[in-house]
Structure 1
Amino acid sequence: MIEDPLGVLLQAAADEIRSLARPLASSADLTPLVERVGDARFVALGEASHGTHEYYRWRAEVSKRLIVERGFTWIGVEGDWPDCWRIDRWVRGLDDRELDAAGVLARFDRWPTWMWANREVADFLDWLHAHNEKLPEPERVGFYGLDVYSLWESLQEILTWLGEHAVDSLPAALEAWQCFLPFHEDPHRYAWSTRLVPEDCEDDVVDLLVEVRRRARPTDRRDDEEFDVLQNAEVVAAAERYYRIMVRGDRESWNIRDIHMADTVDRLAAHQGPASKGLIWAHNTHVGDARATDMAAGGLVNIGELLRRRHGARDVVLVGFAGFGGTVIAADAWGDPDRVMQVPVARVPTHERLLHQTLGAPALLVFGADRSGPWLSSRLGHRAIGVVYAPEREHGNFVPTVMGRRYDALLWCERTTALRPLHREARAAEPEFETEPTGF
């Protein structure tokens, strides 16, 4: 009798999955992951979609345990700096004390609002706010945005700060403002104009960044206002370049965005001090090491890869999330209202299909030092759902992935359900466009 080589390989992969998996039913079941984190300074927690209840819930549970048991001091998320700065001020008890988390999140108005204005995030932020109330102010856990989209909002914050603290530096900010003014706070209109006419605001933005760096020099964590304005200047500089490159169809815009997010992680870590520890919340495509996917062949990098390269594997733990099927919140097109969609069960051959057939229930899988086994070293499809989703074209949502190289652990959620938005999404007049990697 001739053995089926593929069948033998799949059986060996299933045996490896079973040896790694531990049941996942409550926060207590996360102990192997907490122990794996150990003294690492950065833990990046992913999600396989921007609209799934289980990914957000378990990411919050992991974060709670790492904050309480491992002393993590800040969270950086795939969100805008100005919006998340207001959340940070609230969770640390500095502003908006009359509000609860839902009240603070109600101010999110950039499409897609459901990514952050949802019940799952509100529940975690209410917990974090209560946790912080028990701590001295310098020890309270912060919440920050890593993303690059807030060009106009960040520019406005810079103008306000300079007007109050460094009036003689206002001319540099006004030069940048006047350069952008004809585009009516529409970064896409600005970007398209630079494609048609070889004139842009880059020099004005660089001059502004230099001036803000000269005037705002935070020396420790207490210099909140200086750090805020400095980060807003970094956002404006990165955003100007991001939009200008994006409309040219150059995938380098992905790298601009992820390098900016990784640089923001480093700025936060430096500002918080050498004893600080950071959690990063972002999509799997940003968190999982790009070198373990087809992104690398396209010249793309991401946060996970950059963190490992900059800080070493001992100080960085990357955690992915996955599920077999269920429901998700997403939109049919950029700027469309959100709706609940069915997520088809994962096809063959994919990591999700193999995990379902082997486990059939939620599980935590923590990878050891040896990742040469038949599952951890196999390159199979791994599902990634963005804010725009077409279930009927599901085949395009699987990223070729070597699981053992992409992550250090995986939370398997089996059947998943949609997030619970705090309010329904209206059609966006000017939606933001996001570049995505191959297979996304």
Structure 2
Amino acid sequence: MRFRLLPLALLALGFSPAWATPANLNGQSGTEVVQGARREALMTLAQPITTLTANALNADFTWVAEFTRNVQIIGAGEGSHGSAEHFQFKDRLFRELVRQAGFTVLGIEAAFDDGYRMDQYVRGFGSDDPVMAMRQFDFWTWQTQEMRDLLVWMRQSNQTRGKGPELRVMGFDLQDPAGSLRLMQELAPDAGRLHDALQTLLIWSLGNEPWAELKAQRAEERAPFLEGVTELLGAVQALPPASPDREVLHSLAQTVRQASIRALVPDGTTGANLRDAAMAGNVRQLLAGLFPGQKAMLWAHNFHVSKVGAHGQPYRPMGSHLARDLGTRYRAIGLSYAEGEVRAIDTQGGPVPLKVAPARPESLDMLAMGSAPAVFIDLRRAVLNPVLRSWWVNPVDFAGVGALFTAGTSAHVPIELPAAFDGVILVRRSTASTLLSSSAPQR
């Protein structure tokens, strides 16, 4: 028999191989030792979130004040566009950002015209029926009871704010240029250069979606439409600075231009990169023009708010642009879940509740779970722990379901965790978001 002898120098430094560890001698495998060390490290950092109740005034979010110090924008992700718990925790997060850190603007991954109409609702204009207001959302993902609860709270807060700041809503996406044109028609002057430019595009888009046809057209066929888009933006920019709704009209015209450029890109990856760069630019422009000096939480998917894309993907998310431009004034929080279901569209249609495959036993979601429904982990501090830092040198599975999903498949994708997010909220179990009672446009 040959004995393995350790150099005295290594023994003096306290080094011992896996086969010589006490855990191994107690019958644990090397994998169990590693997972135990990771779990122990996570448990020392995980801050329990004990309730889903949005208006709970307890110690669950005491970390908010320090986490947001000198921060202008918080990107709040979601591991699915249809997780009730992710929506509920983001509702609670926004309320705490308002109370503790002076945030006033809720940015939503929705078209600018949708955000404008939600802003009118929370400011007390128009119908006091939230469901009627939320029918303006183009996508089913936001037409949920969870989103309704937050918008109702914002409206009520504005009604009782006294001399406090007004809470506002903004949409920063570009996916509904036709809706932008319709809102411009409501707000634009009844005559003049802008009126004429707008009428040209409205006639062009009447009864069809020219943006879906642009790439298939010959250059000479689409040239008049694109010239009209350029003229629309120029007409807005030519308005006197004090013109009513000038900033709103400029944002609307900008989304029409962005959608037109995106319609011509050669592939999906280029289109996704253009969309996220445009959303980041829209956020910056809106905060500078419509909401100067205010702080915003952005409600969007994990892989829009993250500072890097999923591992191995040629994709630059919105958060990467904001982090580049704002540095530490932008912070991103990702949300994940260990198991459960989400609401999404599958091959049979939808949106319907769909079961997701549980996270792997060795995953971040599973190892971080305690008795609370969820935990928050500040990744800025977590990476100081050598056990976690060495683990996260490699990609980590994290929730990443969009509006489309196949039931029973994995809901997680690999990501460079500390590079992507500054903090994470890990939910034990996800359930499907609750659609508003009345049917709505499905897109």
TM over 0.5: yes
Report what 1:205 is aligned to: 229
The structural deviation recorded for 1:33 is 3.1
My pick for the range that moved more, 412-421 or 129-138, is: 129-138
- Going from structure 1 to structure 2, the CA distance change for 1:360 and 1:41 (only over 3 Å counts) comes to closer
Contact 2:113 2:179 in 1 (8 A): yes
Contact 1:376 1:405 in 2 (8 A): no
Contact 1:366 1:408 in 2 (8 A): yes
Report what 1:14 is aligned to: 39
Question: What is the correspondence of 1:23-422 to structure 2 with a 5 Å cutoff?
Answer: 23-26=48-51, 27=56, 28=58, 29-93=60-124, 95-96=125-126, 98-108=127-137, 110=138, 112-113=139-140, 115-135=141-161, 139-164=165-190, 166-181=191-206, 184-187=207-210, 189-194=212-217, 199-200=222-223, 201-215=225-239, 217=241, 225-245=245-265, 248-272=266-290, 274-290=292-308, 293-295=311-313, 298=314, 300-313=315-328, 315-333=329-347, 336-347=349-360, 350-356=363-369, 361-369=373-381, 371=383, 373-394=389-410, 397-422=411-436
My pick for the range that moved more, 260-269 or 18-27, is: 18-27
The structural deviation recorded for 1:72 is 0.8
Q: Which secondary structure state, in structure 2, belongs to the residue aligned with residue 61 of structure 1?
A: helix
- Going from structure 1 to structure 2, the CA distance change for 1:328 and 1:12 (only over 3 Å counts) comes to same
Contact 1:13 1:374 in 2 (8 A): no
Q: Which secondary structure state, in structure 1, belongs to the residue aligned with residue 200 of structure 2?
A: helix
Report what 2:437 is aligned to: 423
Q: Which secondary structure state, in structure 1, belongs to the residue aligned with residue 320 of structure 2?
A: helix
Q: Which secondary structure state, in structure 2, belongs to the residue aligned with residue 82 of structure 1?
A: helix
5+ residue gaps, structure 1: 432-440
Cα separation, 1, equivalents of 2:129 and 2:202:
34
- Going from structure 1 to structure 2, the CA distance change for 1:349 and 1:244 (only over 3 Å counts) comes to farther
Cα separation, 2, equivalents of 1:169 and 1:365:
50
The structural deviation recorded for 1:180 is 3.9
Contact 1:365 1:409 in 2 (8 A): yes
Q: Which secondary structure state, in structure 1, belongs to the residue aligned with residue 214 of structure 2?
A: helix
Cα separation, 2, equivalents of 1:384 and 1:350:
14
Contact 1:294 1:399 in 2 (8 A): no
The structural deviation recorded for 1:292 is 6.8
Cα separation, 1, equivalents of 2:180 and 2:240:
15
Report what 1:437 is aligned to: none
- Going from structure 1 to structure 2, the CA distance change for 1:216 and 1:412 (only over 3 Å counts) comes to farther
Cα separation, 2, equivalents of 1:187 and 1:242:
12
Q: Which secondary structure state, in structure 2, belongs to the residue aligned with residue 318 of structure 1?
A: strand
My pick for the range that moved more, 116-125 or 376-385, is: 376-385
The structural deviation recorded for 1:399 is 2.4
My pick for the range that moved more, 82-91 or 286-295, is: 286-295
- Going from structure 1 to structure 2, the CA distance change for 1:137 and 1:178 (only over 3 Å counts) comes to farther
Contact 1:100 1:126 in 2 (8 A): no
Cα separation, 2, equivalents of 1:23 and 1:345:
21
The CA deviation string for residues 344-403 of structure 1, in whole angstroms up to 9 with x for no partner, is: 2113664334434x7785211122356252344441221211111102442xx4322122
Cα separation, 1, equivalents of 2:285 and 2:91:
23
Cα separation, 2, equivalents of 1:100 and 1:139:
23
Cα separation, 2, equivalents of 1:179 and 1:238:
17
The structural deviation recorded for 1:342 is 1.2
The CA deviation string for residues 271-324 of structure 1, in whole angstroms up to 9 with x for no partner, is: 2455311111100010111257333xx1x21121111100112x1121111111
- Going from structure 1 to structure 2, the CA distance change for 1:388 and 1:292 (only over 3 Å counts) comes to closer
Aligned-partner residue type, residue 13 of structure 1 = R
Q: Which secondary structure state, in structure 1, belongs to the residue aligned with residue 169 of structure 2?
A: strand
Using structure 2 for the length normalisation, give the TM-score. 0.83
In terms of Rg, which structure is larger?
A: 2
The structural deviation recorded for 1:407 is 0.9
Cα separation, 2, equivalents of 1:121 and 1:360:
23
Q: Which secondary structure state, in structure 1, belongs to the residue aligned with residue 40 of structure 2?
A: helix
Q: Which secondary structure state, in structure 1, belongs to the residue aligned with residue 195 of structure 2?
A: helix
Percent identity among equivalent residues? 22
Cα separation, 1, equivalents of 2:244 and 2:156:
21
Q: Which secondary structure state, in structure 1, belongs to the residue aligned with residue 75 of structure 2?
A: strand
Q: Which secondary structure state, in structure 2, belongs to the residue aligned with residue 211 of structure 1?
A: helix
Cα separation, 1, equivalents of 2:441 and 2:134:
19
Q: How many pairs are equivalent? A: 407
The structural deviation recorded for 1:229 is 1.1
